[in-house]
Amino acid sequence: MKDRKTTHFGYQEVSVDEKAGRVADVFHSVAARYDVMNDLMSGGIHRLWKRFTIELSGARKGQTILDIAGGTGDLTARFSRIVGAEGQVVLADINESMLKVGRDRLLDRGIAGNVVPVQADAQYLPFPDNTFDCITIAFGLRNVTDKDLALRSMLRVLKPGGRLLVLEFSKPQSKLLEKVYDQYSFRLLPFMGKLVADDADSYRYLAESIRMHPDQETLKQMMGDAGFVDCEFHNMTGGIVALHKGIKP
Amino acid sequence: MTDPTFRAGFDAALETAINTALNYDPATRARLQKLDGKALELDLTAPQMTFCLGVEGERVCVHRHWEGEISTRLSGSAIALVRLLRDPAATPAGVGVSVSGSSALLAELQSIMRDLDIDWEAPIAQLAGDVPAHGIGEALRGVSGWLRDNLGRAPVAAAEAVSEEWRLTPPRAQFEAFVDDLRDLSLATERLEARVNLLKEKFARRGAE
């Protein structure tokens, strides 16, 4: 029998071909209530994590920015104001439902003109080499099937000197916080998912996928292996979330 | 090192407070627009904190990291910086603030801060209606005027009480006269010392002859 390549989907082992479809199903299911759930789950703190990401992006007027897994467009909205009419922000997401919600939300807020929504897979970014001054991927990398491939794809489309910022759940730095966080993720989170979005399984997957995601040092090493230089990370909220930064040489 | 989440929360709260207040002062918003793209770095010594205020259109943004050009950099205590921006008589050297970069931006910001006229009645009217808002606004203006007058006079009044009533320090005029006398005495002593040195040299030369 031919060996099947497998990867993880939360705590389950699934075939590589199957993961993208199952992740897509999760996000089709949560897209409509994604923002409400984000606020509820993080107590609104996700806005502060994103704020810090924007600060470290160093984005300026006239720049071209790619917001991968841009979801409902939180980062894109802010970048759109920073880069101004001369710049451009590409809101990319592999999931059609999330992209639609994001595009509609931006239009409802009057954000248009310098924002282009693109349905794209982070592993095979459909852009020419050396296109972007900055790439951000917020809470998206852990859902990508082949993270190394995605990091190399991001490196390719970044301009030399451009920076990649990966905002992602990570490993809490204190044992006590880790215990509290585990209880919260595996007991309270699926319950809230059931209550608000009527979908406990998707939120259980979110908690499991966070645990399977590489920790701070591993992700930093992966970025270095992909070809980024001056890689560093900043722990936020005790390491529950980490922001990794790397520069294209 | 502080967790970036806390600092981001502080910056977000400060930014929201500034921009919410500016929503009720259209004239200041219009003046700020002329400063679009300019950035002011505040390096506070007490409390120790550094942040950057950037103007984006009619909004003020608070940054912890700013990689763009800094137009003006101010360094000093929070109280000194507030005095510098609000008090027309205050100068950077007088209040202990060091300035680098463009002084034009500082002058413009001082002028904006002094002319700041936030219409607090507008947000109250949205919640309580026009008539109660006007009553509350009048009361707030009265309290604010009383506080401004009394707080402005407070340092002078406190100094008078300490020297004239409680006699803990000499009165200002007496102290200044004492300082003048001391300066005269110091100069006279220096002159006397110079004369004595001259005489010593003279006697030394005679002794040698």
Give the least confident one: A30-39, B20-29, B187-196.
Answer: A30-39
Contact residues on chain B for A235, CB-CB shorter than 8 A: 3
- Residues B51, B129, single domain; the answer is no
pLDDT at A187: 77
Domain boundaries, position B130: 122-165
**Which residue positions in chain A have pLDDT lower than 50?**
1-2
Looking at chain B from residue 28 to 57, which residues have their Cβ under 8 Å from any Cβ of chain A?
A: 37, 56
Query: Strands, DSSP E only, in chain B?
Result: 39-45, 48-56, 59-63, 72-76, 98-101
Task: Please indicate if any CB of chain A lies within 8 Å of the CB of B142.
Answer: no
Place of tokens 């009165």: B171
Per residue in B60-115, pLDDT tens? 889 888 888 888 999 988 888 888 887 777 888 888 889 998 888 888 888 887 77
CA atoms of A17 and A42, how far apart (whole Å): 31
Q: Which stretch of DSSP H or E encloses residue A66?
A: strand A64-68
Cα-trace Rg, chain B: 27
Residue that is last in its domain, among B118, B139, B157: B118
Q: Is residue B131 part of a domain?
A: yes
Give the pLDDT mean for B145-165.
Answer: 77
Give the pLDDT mean for B7-11.
Answer: 88
B103-141 burial code (b ≥16 CB/10 A, e <16): eebbebbbebeeeeeeebbeebbeeeeeeebeebbeeee
Q: Is residue B171 part of a domain?
A: no
- Residues B19, B49, single domain; the answer is yes
Cα nearest neighbour of A240 on chain B: B5
Task: Please indicate if any CB of chain A lies within 8 Å of the CB of B67.
Answer: yes
Q: Is residue B170 part of a domain?
A: no
Q: Are strands B98-101 and A6-9 parallel, antiparallel or unpaired?
A: unpaired
Amino acid A139 reads: F
- Residues B62, B40, single domain; the answer is yes
- Residues B9, B110, single domain; the answer is yes
| Per-residue tokens: B114 | 């002094």
Q: How far apart are the first and last CA of chain B?
A: 76
- Residues B182, B161, single domain; the answer is no
* Neighbouring C-beta atoms of residue B101, cutoff 10 Å: 16
Sheet strands side by side (includes A241-247): A115-119, A88-93, A64-68, A132-138, A158-169, A241-247, A229-236
| Per-residue tokens: B29 | 């918003």
Degrees, nearest 5: CA angle A8-A13-A19: 55
CA atoms of A61 and A114, how far apart (whole Å): 12
Residue A105 is given by DSSP the state H
| Per-residue tokens: A245 | 């930064």
What region, left, alpha or beta, does residue B38 occupy, with left being phi > 0 and alpha being psi -120 to 50 degrees?
beta
Residues 6+ apart with CB under 8 A from A144: A122, A123, A150
Per residue in B48-67, pLDDT tens? 888 898 888 888 889 888 88
Residue that is last in its domain, among B118, B139, B154: B118
Q: Is residue B52 part of a domain?
A: yes
On whether the CB atoms of residues A168 and A49 are closer than 8 A, the answer is no
Q: Is the pLDDT of residue B46 over 50?
A: yes
Looking at every residue in chain B, the average pLDDT score rounds to: 84
Q: How far apart are the first and last CA of chain A?
A: 44
- Residues B87, B161, single domain; the answer is no
On whether the CB atoms of residues B30 and B57 are closer than 8 A, the answer is no
Question: What's the half-sphere exposure (Cβ side, CA atoms, 13 Å) at A53?
Answer: 27
Looking at chain A from residue 29 to 88, which residues have their Cβ under 8 Å from any Cβ of chain B?
A: 45, 47-49, 51-52, 55-56, 58, 60-61, 81-82
**CA dist B135 → A194, B7, B94, B142, B187 (Å):** 49, 38, 40, 11, 64
**CA dist A206 → A92, A211, A219, B30 (Å):** 20, 9, 18, 46
Q: Is residue B49 part of a domain?
A: yes
Residues 6+ apart with CB under 8 A from A220: A231, A232, A233, A244
Q: Is residue B54 part of a domain?
A: yes
- Residues B156, B108, single domain; the answer is no
Torsion angle of C-alpha atoms A177, A179, A185, A190, degrees rounded to 10:
-140
Q: Are the Cβ atoms of A51 and B3 closer than 8 angstroms? A: no
How many contacts does A have with B, using Cβ atoms within 8 A?
37
- Residues B19, B106, single domain; the answer is yes
- Residues B11, B110, single domain; the answer is yes
Residue A121 marked as a ligand binder: yes
On whether the CB atoms of residues B60 and B32 are closer than 8 A, the answer is yes
Domain boundaries, chain A: 6-173+204-247
CA atoms of B112 and B114, how far apart (whole Å): 6
| Per-residue tokens: B102 | 């463009």
CA atoms of B3 and A237, how far apart (whole Å): 6
- Residues B10, B111, single domain; the answer is yes
pLDDT at A2: 47
Q: Is residue B53 part of a domain?
A: yes
pLDDT at A31: 65
Best mutation site among B1, B2, B3 for testing chain A: the one with the most A CBs within 10 Å?
A: B3
- Residues B102, B28, single domain; the answer is yes
CATH of the domain at B11: 3.30.1050.10
- Residues B16, B95, single domain; the answer is yes
Model pTM score? 0.74
Residue A72 marked as a ligand binder: yes
**CATH code 3.40.50.150 for A6-173+204-247:** yes
Q: Is residue B91 part of a domain?
A: yes
Best mutation site among A45, A47, A48 for testing chain B: the one with the most B CBs within 10 Å?
A: A48
Query: What is residue A117's three-state secondary structure?
Result: strand
Place of tokens 């090493």: A221
Q: What is the domain count for chain B?
A: 3
CA atoms of A83 and A64, how far apart (whole Å): 8
pLDDT at A1: 44
Q: Is the pLDDT of residue B33 over 80?
A: yes
Burial grade of A2 (CB within 10 A; 0-12, 13-18, 19 or more):
exposed
